[in-house]
Amino acid sequence: MQYVSQVVGRIVDCATDKVGEQIGYLIHYKKNKKNLEQQAENLRNKRNSMQREIEAAKANLENIEGNVQNWVKDVDAIISRTQTLLEADQEKANHRCFNGWCINLWARYKFSKEAFEKAGEITKFEGTKFESLSYRPPSSEIVSFSSSKMFAGLESRKTKVKEIMNALDNENINVIGICGMGGVGKTTIVEEVFRQANAEKKFNKIVMVVVSQTPNVTKIQDEVAHKLGLNLENRDKSERVSALTERIKMEKKILVILDDVWSRLELEEVGIPFGEDHKGCKILLTSRSEDVCSEMDAQKTFPIQVFSEFEAWVLFREMVGEAVDSSDLNSVAREVTNRCGGLPIAIVTVGRALRNRSKHVWIDVLRQLKKPVPTRIKGMDAFVYSRLELSYNYLEGEEAKSLFLLCSLFPEDYEISVETLVQYGMGLRLFQDVDTIQDGRVRARALVSTLLSSFLLLKAEDDDFVKMHDLVRGAAIDIASKEENKTKYMVQAGVGLRDWPNPEIIFQTYTGISLMSNDIRGLPDGLECPKLQTLLLQENSRRSNLEIPPNFFQGMKDLKVLDMSLNKILSLPPSISLLVTLRTLSLVRCKLGDISFIGTLKQLEILDLSGSNIQVVPGDFTQLTHLRLFDLRDCSRLMQIAPGVISSLCKLEELYFNSNFTNWAVGGEENSRTSASLAELKSLSQLTSLFLVVPNADLLPHDLNLQNLTRFSIAIGNPSPVPRIEKNLSLSFDTRLSGPAKFLVKRAEALILRDCRGLENILKDLDNDGLNELKILSLWSCNEIKYLLDTVDPMVVFRNLEELKLIELCTFTEICHGQLPSFSFSKVRTLEMKNCDSIVNIVPSNLLCRLQCLQTLKSESCHSLQNVFDLEGLAIGRDGTEFLSSLEKLELRNLPELIHIWKGTLHRVNLCKLRVVFLVSCIKVRRIFPPSLVQKLVRLDQLLVYGCSNLEEIFGTHNEQQIEIVVPGKSLGTNMSLRNLINVGVYECDKLSYIFPLSIARGLVLLQYLNIECCAMVESIVEEEKGEETESSIEKIVFPDLREITLDNLHNLTCFLQRSLCCRISLFGRNVLSELSQNGDIWSWCSNITQTKESAFAKRNMER
């Protein structure tokens, strides 16, 4: 009962409270109304203030926060409803009940309650606070694929992107580095990573900023914050870091790309959390240094190519190309790679710098890498700059800049000799840290290669010359003309001057003057050029004498380089003796008179008289004790060198004689008093380069030491060979060699042996060590040699031989007699044999196994030759080795006994690279390509067959399964071989009845030239093979690119294609179809052979 009383009591209390609350709405009617009006006014004022802020933010190109926009929308709605409520109450305020005697309590109660509740809602809106009203929109990352072409063309780049993407997925990696030299695609790679990561939605946010060489932390912060919609304005340093850190942490997964980092950047000071501070933040950075990646705490570093020790060589080869596989570069390349220490940035930088470079560059880079502090190797960085002057400024080192400016001294479109740059550079001491002329040459070529790679120089047709684009030259002249530069040039080269420039020009400030390639015939007197170091006056007065006043050189006491080549100078002025600092003097192809004054230039180091008309080297030259290079090549009138001159040139490093000069004194003979002797060479202890012709080996002193020679072209008893590589030797003798000549044989890289009587065994007679330095070997008319190699012992021989020529060896029967040692001939690329009438097989099976690098084989007029490639006896291997897979060119001419080009089983022969085949006057050959080889002729593009009177078939056929390819029009059953064939010429092959089998003809979609002439038995150009499906014979054979067709003097030709085949030819060039019938009618060309015949018959009937 007590429990019931308590419950009833509580109900009564609640009811009382509820009734009191409801009565309160009536009692506080006016208060609630006034409060609502006040709250609504306050909210309206706040909304207007907020609107002004919104408009200001929008004017500042900021986006309004979504919650702010929703608040405004809701406020507008509640203000509108409040206004409606108040207006409605106003209308009802005078309403009374009971005919106006009583206030309407229900209306007041209802309004007061709504006003109270509405005021509560307004209070909530009025009290709303926002962390931010607006935000700057994240800038859309404009990913510029400036190098996208390079990226798209290299599978390695795609692989690298995939590896980076995998690293981004690794939860244990939060900092990833990409390193490599500028311009090789680091930015392109991160842009592709950006694109793929964005497309795959790997991150909530991705931001990319450029750090640059001089990083500005504030700027980096602003860029990152801006892209995240964060405003860092009006914050102090610590607040900026804290705010950016917190903003980045708001993103569960975020990728920050820092492009072009040059040194360690403290990410904590920037406000970029990573690692334990924010595991969802990944840092991807690019740098030109692997060390910077390491300093940036990169847990995974990606050079543009792989960077592991094993992969270092793969990366290096990828950067440089297949050139590193050549015997000429392989050892150097591997040493360069090792010197890089496996560091990706070093490998990428060196590899990029050495790609498509000459051997000189390789040697120079290797020499630099061997130094304690190697010079940084410049690559392709410069060409990323848009302006040429920036490219110049960015060249690494003063050497490249100076050489670049030096090239501006030459006329527009001038082909600049690299050797000339060497001579100028050595005279100007342009090359740093070089000890010899050869070192300078290597350095110059390395620098030229750098400038070529930066597009500041252009290649000429000859690799020994370069050119300069006109705009680049203009920029260089502009740079060199500025007062602040220590190099200041005046360049008026090749502008048609007939007189010396305006004498009012102040020459005192110039360090270089170029007036070359004009028509100036007289020089001024008494010029004052105290700073002048380079004066170029070549190519001005070839026919008339260049008038040089006696005092012309008087004011040029600092002159280092003087070039007056290609001028007629009857006498040099006495003032030339005042050029006490002159180091380089070039008088190439000059018509000279008295040159004795040159002997007074005691500091002269380089004297180039090549091609000049001098007849005597005077005794005055004995004073040139500092001379390092003396060039007398092509001095065809040179008859005498004063005795004692050569021996006086004690510092001479390079000495070049004319190939016709043989007037050497012999001890005890009369001319020893008037002419130099070869014994004087013994005084040249620093000699490293020598071009020389010795008419007789006996003239060479037996004690002559030539061990220091690194470059030579020496002929003993033979005309001087044309230098192809650095160590050339040509010999002709009738006794065995000894002393210096035999030493040269051991060092030679190119050896010519001609008319060597008594020479039976090259190895025994010349070099028992195997001639493994040789790259080129030519044997001419050495008629006692039967074998190039008679293998008695297993010693490796001819390991590095690349080119072998055997000419007019009447007793020569084999290249190798017996079992060939491993690695011998393994690098031979070219094999030529001519007029060797005793040889039967050129490449027997024992030699074929070694010739895996063979690219070119030529044979001509070997009248006993029966087989070119004899595969009989070839051991059956299980290693899958294929032979002749490198062969590109095959030329066989005038081989009357040749029966087989390929003899024996051919299943291991692969002619996948064969491009050119010439078969001329091989009258016993019946077939060129057997069926098994036809399938592998995928690159053949030229075929010439001439005078093979017994040839019955060019391309052998058999009923193999055909391969389907698509030819314009429709898919045809087609042989995939010969799809690259472009040019076919067949002449005077009397037993040939057709040219192409049908299966091959269907695939000749690239055929452009077809010339068939004087083949008496040819009945059709295309013949159907046996077993060919009947339904296929109604299909068209399409030659879509045919430009020229000649069918001449083919008396038995009855059709182009057999049976009902139809041929469609798109003919872009000319055509000649003559003497096709036995009556000698000339047929006009129609769209196909059937129409052509019909037209010809109609013409014949009309004539009848």
CATH code, 221:
3.40.50.300
Q: Are residues 955 and 1037 in the same domain?
A: yes
Position 1090 scores a pLDDT of 45
Position 1030 scores a pLDDT of 44
In a domain, residue 297? The reply is yes
More confident residue, 366 or 192: 192
Q: Are residues 362 and 411 in the same domain?
A: no
Q: Are residues 195 and 110 in the same domain?
A: no
Q: Are residues 965 and 1098 in the same domain?
A: yes
Position 313 scores a pLDDT of 64
How many Cβ atoms from other residues are within 10 Å of residue 908's Cβ? 17
pLDDT tens-place string over residues 356-391: 777 777 787 777 665 433 444 443 233 322 335 655
Final residue belonging to a domain, choices 257, 289, 304: 304
Q: DSSP label at 897? A: T
Any idea which of 46-50, 437-441, 988-992 has the lowest mean pLDDT? 46-50
Residue 311 confidence class, pLDDT cut points 50, 70, 90: very low
In a domain, residue 800? The reply is yes
Is residue 1076 pLDDT above 50, yes or no?
no
The secondary element (H helix, E strand) that includes residue 713 is strand 711-716
Q: Are residues 300 and 211 in the same domain?
A: yes
More confident residue, 621 or 1066: 621
In a domain, residue 524? The reply is no
In a domain, residue 26? The reply is yes
CA distance 108 to 114: 10
CA distance 674 to 178: 70
**β-pairing verdict for 96-97 and 63-64:** unpaired
CA distance 572 to 669: 35
Q: How far is CA 820 from the centre of its chain?
A: 38
Q: Are residues 956 and 1081 in the same domain?
A: yes
Closest CA to 1099 of 1053, 1059, 1063, 1085: 1085
Any idea which of 480-484, 548-552, 680-684 has the lowest mean pLDDT? 480-484
Q: DSSP label at 275? A: G
CB of 938 closer than 8 Å to CB of 910: no
Is residue 793 pLDDT above 50, yes or no?
yes
CB of 254 closer than 8 Å to CB of 277: no
Q: Are residues 325 and 300 in the same domain?
A: no
pLDDT tens-place string over residues 918-942: 999 999 999 999 988 888 899 999 9
Long-range contacts of 1001-1004 (CB under 8 A, 24+ apart): 1001/1037, 1001/1057, 1002/967, 1002/972, 1002/973, 1002/974, 1002/975, 1002/1037, 1003/965, 1003/967, 1003/974, 1003/975, 1003/976, 1003/977, 1003/978, 1003/979, 1004/978, 1004/979, 1004/1039
Any idea which of 132-136, 226-230, 613-617 has the lowest mean pLDDT? 132-136
Q: DSSP label at 744? A: H
Position 28 scores a pLDDT of 64
Any idea which of 39-43, 821-825, 843-847, 857-861 has the lowest mean pLDDT? 39-43
Any idea which of 672-686, 819-833, 954-968 has the lowest mean pLDDT? 954-968
Residue 90 confidence class, pLDDT cut points 50, 70, 90: low
Token representation of residue 482:
């500025």
What's the sign of the alpha-carbon dihedral 340, 345, 347, 352?
A: negative
pLDDT above 70 covers what percent of the chain? 75
- State whether residue 155 is helix, strand or coil: helix
Position 976 scores a pLDDT of 58
Q: How far is CA 192 from the centre of its chain?
A: 23
Measure CA of the first residue to CA of the last residue in the chain; give whole Å: 147
Token representation of residue 103:
């206030």
Position 127 scores a pLDDT of 73
In a domain, residue 969? The reply is yes
CA distance 796 to 775: 15
CA distance 1043 to 1006: 10
Q: Are residues 410 and 469 in the same domain?
A: yes
- State whether residue 946 is helix, strand or coil: strand
Position 816 scores a pLDDT of 86
Q: Are residues 202 and 295 in the same domain?
A: yes
pLDDT tens-place string over residues 321-349: 777 778 777 878 888 777 665 454 456 55
Closest CA to 871 of 825, 939, 932: 932
Most trustworthy range by pLDDT among 411-415, 416-420, 1097-1101: 416-420
In a domain, residue 848? The reply is yes
Structural domain of 171: 157-304
Is residue 56 pLDDT above 90, yes or no?
no
In a domain, residue 725? The reply is no
- State whether residue 198 is helix, strand or coil: helix
pLDDT above 90 covers what percent of the chain? 28
- State whether residue 608 is helix, strand or coil: strand
CA distance 708 to 820: 34
Residue 5 confidence class, pLDDT cut points 50, 70, 90: very low
Most trustworthy range by pLDDT among 337-346, 758-767, 1063-1072: 758-767
Final residue belonging to a domain, choices 377, 397, 421: 377
Is residue 1091 pLDDT above 60, yes or no?
no
Torsion of CA 423, 424, 430, 434, to 10 degrees: 10
Q: Which residue type is seen at 813?
A: T
Q: Which residue type is seen at 148?
A: S
pLDDT tens-place string over residues 558-577: 999 999 999 998 888 989 99
Q: Are residues 979 and 1098 in the same domain?
A: yes
Position 307 scores a pLDDT of 33
Q: Are residues 392 and 372 in the same domain?
A: no
Any idea which of 536-540, 599-603, 1042-1046 has the lowest mean pLDDT? 1042-1046
Final residue belonging to a domain, choices 355, 377, 399: 377
Torsion of CA 400, 403, 408, 414, to 10 degrees: -110
Q: Are residues 100 and 54 in the same domain?
A: yes
CA distances from 254 to 160, 205, 221 (A): 21, 5, 15
Any idea which of 5-19, 288-302, 431-445, 835-849 has the lowest mean pLDDT? 5-19
In a domain, residue 539? The reply is no
Q: DSSP label at 335? A: H
Torsion of CA 893, 895, 899, 904, to 10 degrees: -70
Position 561 scores a pLDDT of 97
Is residue 696 pLDDT above 90, yes or no?
no
Number of domain units in the chain: 6
